[in-house]
Amino acid sequence: MLKFSLKYLVLLSALSVFPVSASAQTSNTAKDSTADTAARPHENELASADEAFLKKAAEAGHAEVEAGKLAKQKASSADVKTFAEHMVTDHTKVNDELNALATNKGVELPAGPSSAQQAELKALGEESEEFDKQYVDRMAVTAHEEAVNMFKDASETSEDVDVKTFAKKTLPSLESHLDMAKSLKTKVGSDK
């Protein structure tokens, strides 16, 4: 009797699992969706170019914030300090928006500037005599020219609608920063 009950329990438990796995194997819908998922990436998965853009944009944003903080401390010109404050405020806001977008897309962003940008910031921090001019040349003008080009490209070529929208929305602000930086460069250059 005990032997029969044990066999019965094993059989019963096997049968209770079998219908679930058998129905999953025979369902065309399950097969189709599995093949569908394998053929196309997850809806939040980004193209490699879009992911690379988000990561580079994050590094550039962190570099702008760090450079702005440095300029607020070291700049001698009130205009440079005002510009730097503006950069810290604006780029912190954009960084927050970028982080939200990346989180939504499942992309882990760098927590700071790239190593090349860190080296640039270190060199800038060691500058004393011509800090204002170097900050404006290196971080205000050159970095914004690169950012404008990067965001312009992403606004035109990104495959992901949200990434493209973010780039298009941010681009006018970066172009404005570049115009301000060029104007400041003329002013700082004529002060010396």
pLDDT in tens, 93-136: 999 999 999 999 999 999 999 999 999 999 999 987 899 999 99
Please, are residues 91 and 64 in contact by the beta-carbon 8 Å criterion? yes
pLDDT above 70 coverage of the chain, percent: 76
The Cα 148–Cα 51 span in angstroms is 18
What does the block give as tokens for 12? 């019963």
Tell the residue number behind the tokens 């250059």, with chain if given: 189
CATH of 48-191, one of 1.10.357.10, 1.10.10.10, 1.20.1260.10, 3.40.50.1820: 1.20.1260.10
pTM tops 0.85, yes or no: no
Question: Is 182 in a helix, a strand, or coil?
Answer: helix
Q: Which residues contact 43 (CB under 8 A, 6 or more apart)?
A: none
